[in-house]
């Protein structure tokens, strides 16, 4: 993972440098045109200060727009490289699905703040409650990893397969609903108009902004 991050960071840096070079070329071209205009002006009717000021203001505007475009382009490219580096890794993202394989399952809970009590309720494909995992009190906001060994509330062992889960809790005497996070393997990256999306096993398409943690 470290190697992947290093490679994507290097590529993003190269892309940023390329965009910066293109921006500088646009500025140089604009200045060249302005200088040519000044050199070829009519000596009997030279450009007045207001006209020159207007030209310089236009240069400043073009420069600002170019810099903004360069920043946005570099940011988009950086996101693309970052998402590609996630391929082959598990992520945590909002969801309610849980896969039990080899007697092991994992999900996450995102806490918005402290809570007196939090529990994860796991159900089978028919919606029947299989397991309740008590997480106890949580003292701060953040992501809490939750593992399941496949045991059930009745003392049995649940078969491997797909399950769903929900998260409930209490804080200061009031019910709260912490965010459940599913675990999924990133299989590929799809580029679209709003940015990169991840194709995640068992979760479908997940927007890059929804990724809470890389495992």
Q: Average of pLDDT values for 93-119? A: 96
- Note whether 141 and 62 are same-domain residues: no
Residue 202 lies in a domain: no
Structural domain includes residue 8: yes
Query: What number is the average pLDDT over the span 112-125?
Result: 97
Residue with tokens 């009717």: 45
Q: Is the pLDDT of residue 4 over 50?
A: no
Q: Is residue 204 predicted with pLDDT exceeding 50?
A: yes
Q: Please state, rounded to an integer, the average pLDDT across all residues of the chain.
A: 81
**Within a 10 A sphere around the Cβ of 201, how many other Cβ atoms?**
12
207 inside domain: no
The range of the structural domain enclosing residue 162 comes to: 90-185
Can you give the pLDDT at residue 20?
56
Burial of 148 (0-12, 13-18, 19+ CB in 10 A): buried
**% of the chain beyond a pLDDT of 70:** 65
CA distance 85 to 108: 22
**The total number of structural domains that make up the chain:** 2
pLDDT in tens, 140-181: 999 999 999 999 999 999 999 999 999 999 999 999 999 999
Whether residue 126 has pLDDT greater than 90: yes
**Secondary structure letter of residue 44 according to DSSP:** T
Place of tokens 């290093």: 6
127, 144: one domain: yes
> What are the residues whose beta carbons fall under 8 Å from the beta carbon of 179, sequence distance 6 or more?
94, 109, 110, 112, 167
Q: Is the pTM of this model over 0.85?
A: no
Mean pLDDT of all residues in 178-187: 96
């Amino acid at each position: 993972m470290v190697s992947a991050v290093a490679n994507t960071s290097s590529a993003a840096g190269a892309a940023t440098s390329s965009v910066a070079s293109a921006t500088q070329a646009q500025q140089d071209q604009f200045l060249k045109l302005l200088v040519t205009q000044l050199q070829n002006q009519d000596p009997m009717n030279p450009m007045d200060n207001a006209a020159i000021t207007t030209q310089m203001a236009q240069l400043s505007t073009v420069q600002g727009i170019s810099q903004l475009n360069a920043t946005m382009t570099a940011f988009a490219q950086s996101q693309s490289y970052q998402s590609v580096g996630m391929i082959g890794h598990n992520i945590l993202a909002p969801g309610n699905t849980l896969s039990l394989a080899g007697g092991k399952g994992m999900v996450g809970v995102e806490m918005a703040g402290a809570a007196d009590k939090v529990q994860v309720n796991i159900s089978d494909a028919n919606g029947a409650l299989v397991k309740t995992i008590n997480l106890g009190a949580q003292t701060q906001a953040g992501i809490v990893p939750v593992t399941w060994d496949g045991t059930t509330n009745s003392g049995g062992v649940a078969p491997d397969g797909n399950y769903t889960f929900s998260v409930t809790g209490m804080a200061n005497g009031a019910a709260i609903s912490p965010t459940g996070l599913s675990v999924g393997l990133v299989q590929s990256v799809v580029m679209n108009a709003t940015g990169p999306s991840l194709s995640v096993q068992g979760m479908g398409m997940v927007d890059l902004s929804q990724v809470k943690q890389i495992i």
